Amino acid sequence: MATTLPSPPRVGMVSLGCPKNLVDSERILTQLRADGYQMSADYAGADVVLVNTCGFLDSAKEESLEAIGEAIAENGRVIVTGCMGKEAEVIRARFPQVLAISGAHEYEQVVEAVHEAAPPGLSPYIDLIPDAGLKLTPRHYSYLKISEGCNHRCAFCIIPQLRGDLASRRPDAILREAEKLLAAGTKELLVISQDTSAYGIDIRGETRSWKGREVRPHMTDLARELGQLRTPQGEQPWVRLHYVYPYPHVDQVIPLMAEGLVLPYLDIPFQHASPAVLRAMKRPANDARVLQRIRGWREVCPDIAIRSTFVVGFPGETEEEFRYLLEWLEEARLDRVGAFRFEPVEGASANSLPNPVPEAVKEERYARVMELTARISAEKLAARVGRTIEVLVDAVDPETGGATGRSKADAPEIDGEVHLRDAGHLAAGDFARVLVEESDEHDLYGVPA
Ligand code: SF4
């Protein structure tokens, strides 16, 4: 049975007045798109309607009031922003049912009002940030979204249908946001998108100036600049790259890891290894020489940690193709692996592929992948016992003096942890040198050095 995803809320927009107002409308809509909203071209399909008003002349005010009246009559759930927001009492006197009123350029207030009127609703199928992560992300790490949407059409995925094609943010805007996050206490920037390696291909040539340097909208330029930012205390933040597809230019990022500008960590969703299954999945950057590339990356940056996810039981996956995946995993020796049993999502083209894999076979394959990858993970972690590593502390228990943190190889929520003893003097957000004393399948155990 296909999983039906909740459809994202839809926002209608009526933009009145001058080009400046139009730019404001675009900014608001861009933010709402990034937050997962869809746009509605008509009143009927909208969960909420925004009216961006003009108050320059009396005639413009009257036009604005008429537009608000029309939106209320046609839809009923209306948020008003723009120049007429200065005259909130005039609007309220005529339309007491208006949900919220804000003035020109008050983007945050409008976006907040939309969130309140029609909550964005997260889905584990389409949201990069874990549901709980949104509320629980502590101050010392932050997700930094560099683009929205995706140009690929993987057979099992409906993100391009929901979020549209790739839309990259300007590199200087991303860097400015990163700087603000650091000023607010962030120590680790988690770079996210649907396809981080594709960042900027839609705005190629739109080089921007940042601190006197030219920055191209390209993954390597962005990674280098992020690696040069500092916290207000002069510390170098951790920069972690997620959702990287193995396009050829990813090779240029590995030296930045070796130099210490970005963390030696690559989150690459390979999803499978068998060329036939990857073709059926319509995966991008599906190059049969990936193992060779991984070897090359490890030569340049021996400490690199590679995490990936795989789908087992994709329609048509034969036992032979599955074994190919197991052998590939044995050879690739990835540090962290997440596996999923294929599940049809409503609207995905994979649903109509022939030869679905029976549930029992999916289960059995899933168990085999998990067993193999847990063994590899345990072996790799055991090799770190006796080493001193850098850890970012996530939480401290003052009563027991214990703490948990993560090494450079561990992203929050999805990878392992480092459990510390005798660490009561540390605080969340501290970087600490830690002597690793023990390990298991997923985690390390140690003591501040
Ligand atoms: S790369 Fe494929 S799986 Fe990832 S968002 Fe794009 S279409 Fe979906």
> If you average pLDDT over residues 271-286, what whole number do you get?
89
Position 131 confidence tier, pLDDT thresholds 50, 70, 90: very low
Tens-place pLDDT, residues 315-353: 999 999 999 999 999 999 999 999 999 988 888 899 989
Strands (E), 16-151: 38-40, 48-53, 78-82, 100-101, 141-145, 147-148
Q: Which of 373, 449, 383, 446 is nearest to 415 (CA)?
A: 373
For the Cβ of 152 lying below 6 angstroms from any atom of ligand 1, the answer is yes
From the CA of 150, how far away is ligand 1's center (Å)? 6
Q: Which of 125, 194, 310, 311 to mutate to test the pocket of ligand 1 (most atoms within 8 A of CB)?
A: 194
Higher pLDDT, 126 or 98: 98
- Which pLDDT score is estimated for 134? 37
Residue with CA at minimum distance from ligand 1 atom 1: 152
Atom of ligand 1 nearest to the CA of 271: 3
The pLDDT of residue 242 is above 70: yes
Average pLDDT across the chain, whole number: 89
Residue with CA at minimum distance from ligand 1 atom 8: 157
Position 133 confidence tier, pLDDT thresholds 50, 70, 90: very low
- Which pLDDT score is estimated for 106? 77
**Cα separations (Å) of 357 from 156, 353, 361, 368?**
14, 11, 7, 15
Tens-place pLDDT, residues 422-439: 999 999 999 999 999 999
For the Cβ of 160 lying below 6 angstroms from any atom of ligand 1, the answer is yes
Q: Report DSSP letters for 319-363, one per residue.
A: HHHHHHHHHHHHHH--SEEEEEE---BTT-GGGG-SSPPPHHHHH
The pLDDT of residue 178 is above 60: yes
Contacts of 393 (CB under 8 A, 6+ apart): 403, 404, 405, 420, 423, 426, 427, 428, 429, 430, 431, 432
Q: What is the DSSP letter of 3?
A: B
CA distance between the termini of the chain: 53
pTM: 0.72
301 annotated to bind ligand? no
Domains observed in the chain: 10-117 (3.40.50.12160), 131-382 (3.80.30.20), 388-448 (2.40.50.140)
For the Cβ of 150 lying below 6 angstroms from any atom of ligand 1, the answer is yes
The pLDDT of residue 288 is above 80: no
CA atoms within 13 A on the CB side of 121: 12
18 annotated to bind ligand? yes
Residue with CA at minimum distance from ligand 1 atom 2: 154
Token output for 61 = 């005010």
For the Cβ of 284 lying below 6 angstroms from any atom of ligand 1, the answer is yes
Region of poorest pLDDT, from 47-61, 141-155, 167-181: 47-61
- Which pLDDT score is estimated for 6? 64
For the Cβ of 51 lying below 6 angstroms from any atom of ligand 1, the answer is no
